């Protein structure tokens, strides 16, 4: 790397998830200077996908996209002197490291490859009382990455490490931080969190994207973010000159409140205090991040667990025009009866086509979900689509027969015997594996190995932290004086507030922020847990916790159990809560007129 400890370390990111823009790695290497290029490939759902891959072939379990990207870019990274650090190893970092060495030999590129392992606890699930999961992976920290880089690795691949560790490890190696340099480590965690989701920090998925476009920022092909990390852990978030998108205090704030909880942001190396973050616009596409305080990490590591519950299938029926409620009611009664083997008498003729085997058990899935999609429909709409509502039916069961083609056939058999205008959006399909998404367990860090396997094969054990601190909530600071009473107007909350939402297992995280102190005085007093439950009725009976982050003018809500079994198995139409924030922004409230001008 072409930097010294007195100059910032330029850490770019080229992937926010498994499936992100393939060309981003080459773009980041070609479009400007970098010292380190990271790639985050492991979401909770990704671990489930990789677990299924490993069931088919034990040699798999890593992000194959990364290997194809490296085939295109390994020589370029070597020529530019850019170290590559990615968690693409997934469930098989050693296997990916071997494939990379084979690739380098085939391409004639002289690079040193290392990997980090120890996170995969599946073989110890019984010992650690983790049940019988499909995958069980601890969230390791940055020090294994740092060991590999200090040993001269050009490419480091890991399994499940925290997303921010991909940036913290290079910074710790470069600046020589000690394990208890908590403020510097906390600052690097915040910088890593900002860039980990790729273009979300440069205008992607941004609530006020129309304002960026109006200001002349091209969002067609946003660039990926860079964190210029300094020796004290402060950073500047930027992007390569001439690339699309924008880096503003707003785009950085949006990413900072994404999938976090309270003021203490826990990690295996340090607990970063999000209530100490200061953001400043230091120039076009340059946002300074400073003031972050760090504290000792918790004694336990988070372990992500994915399990397989069985199989799933779905079918969507189309309701059009008049009597939508009665049509939906008839369809549900008929399909339920057919699946339970209790068809109405007028379906008796159709039971013989296709014939049902004599004596076969009724195929009644153990769980159903019935949802109407697309609003209530307007019977008087000038377009047929406007008069249409979709009735979406999902079924899940451990027995694939009960949710196979027979499930869809039970609905299709009704085509000439149900509500007027009956049709489906697709023919019956096969059952697909159903993952009971994600759950988390916590075990002492001392029980989890953390090993850096250096380019020469040497294995270096990374010890757990010596100093730890049990999480205690940060007391909520006294709120500012409320905005004084005055004229209000009914308007969508999104006229003045941004939001970003996402998933953590079965829970949803919803961060909401405003851009001015006056708006903050109103928001912090108005958007309470009770008000959120009123605005989003499906949260009304769920446990909801609000966390206040005054330095970001933000409140963050953790909504427990909203997502059922998680992204891999939830029946909600938005299983990862990605659109939850935009739903909230569309809800109308009485907003002070002073803010709406």
| Residues 510, 533: Cα–Cα separation, whole Å | 12
pLDDT band at 415 (very low <50, low <70, confident <90, very high): confident
pLDDT of residue 526: 98
pLDDT of residue 359: 29
pLDDT band at 343 (very low <50, low <70, confident <90, very high): very low
* 164 closest CA partner among 270, 287, 52, 323: 270
The tens digit of pLDDT for each residue in 162-204 reads 999 999 999 999 999 999 999 999 999 999 999 999 999 999 9
pLDDT of residue 347: 26
pLDDT band at 377 (very low <50, low <70, confident <90, very high): confident
> Exposed, middle or buried by CB within 10 Å (0-12, 13-18, 19+), for 368?
middle
Q: Are 154 and 110 in contact (CB under 8 A)?
A: no
Q: Which residue has the tokens 């153990």?
A: 366
Q: Are 402 and 359 in contact (CB under 8 A)?
A: no
pLDDT band at 216 (very low <50, low <70, confident <90, very high): very high
Tokens representing 83 are: 């170290």
pLDDT of residue 520: 98
- Average confidence (pLDDT) over 334-358: 44
| Residues 91, 159: Cα–Cα separation, whole Å | 6
- Average confidence (pLDDT) over 14-27: 97
The tens digit of pLDDT for each residue in 420-469 reads 999 999 888 888 877 666 789 999 999 999 999 999 999 999 999 999 99
Count the neighbouring beta carbons within 10 Å of the beta carbon of residue 284.
10
Determine which of 247-261, 335-349, 418-432, 583-597 has the lowest per-residue pLDDT on average.
Answer: 335-349
- Average confidence (pLDDT) over 575-580: 91
Cα 477 to chain center, whole Å? 29
Q: What is the CATH number of domain 310-436?
A: 3.30.70
The tens digit of pLDDT for each residue in 279-327 reads 999 999 999 999 999 999 999 999 999 887 778 888 899 999 999 989 9
Q: Does residue 495 register a pLDDT over 70? A: yes
The tens digit of pLDDT for each residue in 117-151 reads 999 999 999 999 999 999 999 999 999 999 999 99
| Residues 454, 301: Cα–Cα separation, whole Å | 24
Cα 20 to chain center, whole Å? 12
Count the neighbouring beta carbons within 10 Å of the beta carbon of residue 246.
24
pLDDT band at 351 (very low <50, low <70, confident <90, very high): very low
* 91 closest CA partner among 123, 129, 128: 123
* 196 closest CA partner among 329, 16, 49: 16
The tens digit of pLDDT for each residue in 473-483 reads 888 889 999 99
Contacts of 247 (CB under 8 A, 6+ apart): 201, 202, 203, 225, 237, 238, 239, 285, 286, 287
| Residues 558, 544: Cα–Cα separation, whole Å | 6
The tens digit of pLDDT for each residue in 532-550 reads 999 999 999 999 999 999 9
Q: Does residue 572 register a pLDDT over 80? A: no
Give how far Cα 365 sits from Cα of 358, 361, 415, 570, Å: 20, 12, 21, 16
pLDDT band at 254 (very low <50, low <70, confident <90, very high): very high
Instruction: Please give the mean pLDDT across all residues of the chain.
Output: 90
pLDDT of residue 207: 96
Q: What length is written for the chain?
A: 597
pLDDT of residue 566: 67
- Write down the domain spans for the chain: 9-297, 310-436, 488-595
Phi, psi at 550, each rounded to 5°: -65, -30
Q: Are 70 and 592 in contact (CB under 8 A)?
A: no
pLDDT band at 489 (very low <50, low <70, confident <90, very high): very high
Give how far Cα 89 sits from Cα of 67, 127, 232, Å: 10, 24, 30
């Amino acid at each position: 790397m072409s930097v010294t400890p007195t100059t910032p370390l330029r850490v770019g990111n080229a992937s926010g998830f498994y499936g992100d823009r393939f060309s981003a790695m080459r773009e980041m290497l070609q479009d400007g200077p970098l010292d380190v290029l990271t790639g985050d490939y492991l979401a909770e759902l990704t671990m489930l996908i990789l677990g299924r891959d490993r069931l088919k072939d034990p040699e798999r379990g890593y992000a194959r996209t990364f290997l194809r990207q490296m085939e295109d870019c390994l020589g370029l990274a070597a020529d530019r002197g850019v170290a590559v650090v990615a968690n693409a190893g997934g469930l098989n970092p050693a296997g990916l490291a071997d494939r990379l060495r084979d690739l380098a030999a085939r391409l004639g590129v002289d690079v040193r490859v290392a990997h980090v392992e120890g996170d995969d606890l599946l073989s110890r699930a019984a010992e650690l009382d983790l049940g019988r999961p499909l995958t069980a992976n601890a969230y390791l920290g940055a020090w294994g990455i740092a060991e590999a880089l200090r040993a001269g690795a050009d490419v480091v691949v890991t399994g499940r490490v925290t997303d921010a560790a991909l940036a913290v490890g290079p910074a710790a190696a470069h600046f020589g931080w000690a394990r208890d340099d908590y403020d510097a480590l906390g600052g690097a965690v915040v910088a890593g969190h900002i860039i980990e989701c790729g273009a979300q920090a440069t205008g992607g998925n941004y609530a006020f994207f129309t304002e960026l476009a109006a200001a002349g920022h091209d969002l067609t092909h946003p660039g990926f973010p860079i964190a210029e990390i300094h020796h004290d852990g402060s950073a500047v978030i930027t992007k390569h000159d001439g690339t699309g998108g924008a880096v503003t205090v707003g785009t950085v704030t949006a990413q900072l409140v994404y999938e976090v909880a309270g003021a203490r942001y826990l990690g295996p190396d340090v607990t970063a205090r999000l209530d100490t973050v200061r953001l400043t616009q230091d120039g076009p596409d340059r946002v300074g991040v400073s003031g972050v305080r760090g504290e000792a990490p918790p004694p336990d590591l988070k372990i992500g667990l994915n399990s397989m519950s069985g199989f799933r299938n779905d079918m969507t029926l189309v309701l059009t025009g008049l009597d939508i409620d009665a049509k939906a009611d008839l369809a549900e009664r008929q399909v339920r009866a057919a699946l339970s083997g209790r068809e109405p008498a007028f379906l008796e003729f159709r039971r013989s086509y296709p014939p049902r085997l004599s004596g076969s058990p009724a195929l009644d899935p153990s769980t159903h979900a019935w949802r109407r999609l697309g609003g209530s429909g307007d019977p008087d709409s000038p377009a047929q689509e406007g008069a249409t509502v979709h009735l979406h039916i999902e079924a899940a069961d451990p027995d694939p027969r009960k949710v196979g083609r027979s499930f869809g056939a039970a609905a299709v058999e009704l085509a000439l015997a149900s509500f007027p205008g009956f049709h489906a959006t697709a023919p019956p399909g096969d059952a697909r594996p159903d993952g009971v998404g994600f759950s988390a367990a916590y075990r002492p860090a001392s029980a989890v190995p953390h090993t850096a396997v250096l380019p020469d094969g040497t294995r270096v054990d990374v010890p757990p932290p010596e100093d730890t601190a049990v999480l205690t909530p940060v007391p909520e600071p006294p709120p500012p004086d409320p905005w004084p009473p005055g004229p209000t107007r009914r308007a969508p909350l999104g006229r003045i507030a941004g939001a970003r939402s996402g998933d953590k297992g079965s829970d949803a995280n919803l961060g909401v922020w405003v851009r001015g102190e006056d708006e903050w005085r109103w928001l912090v007093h108005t958007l309470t847990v009770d008000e959120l439950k009123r605005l989003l009725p499906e949260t009304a009976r769920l446990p909801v916790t609000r966390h206040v982050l005054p330095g970001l003018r933000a409140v963050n809500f953790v909504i427990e159990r909203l997502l059922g079994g998680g992204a891999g198995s939830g029946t909600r139409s938005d299983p990862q809560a990605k659109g939850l924030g935009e739903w909230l922004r569309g809800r109308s409230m009485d907003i002070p007129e002073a803010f709406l001008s």
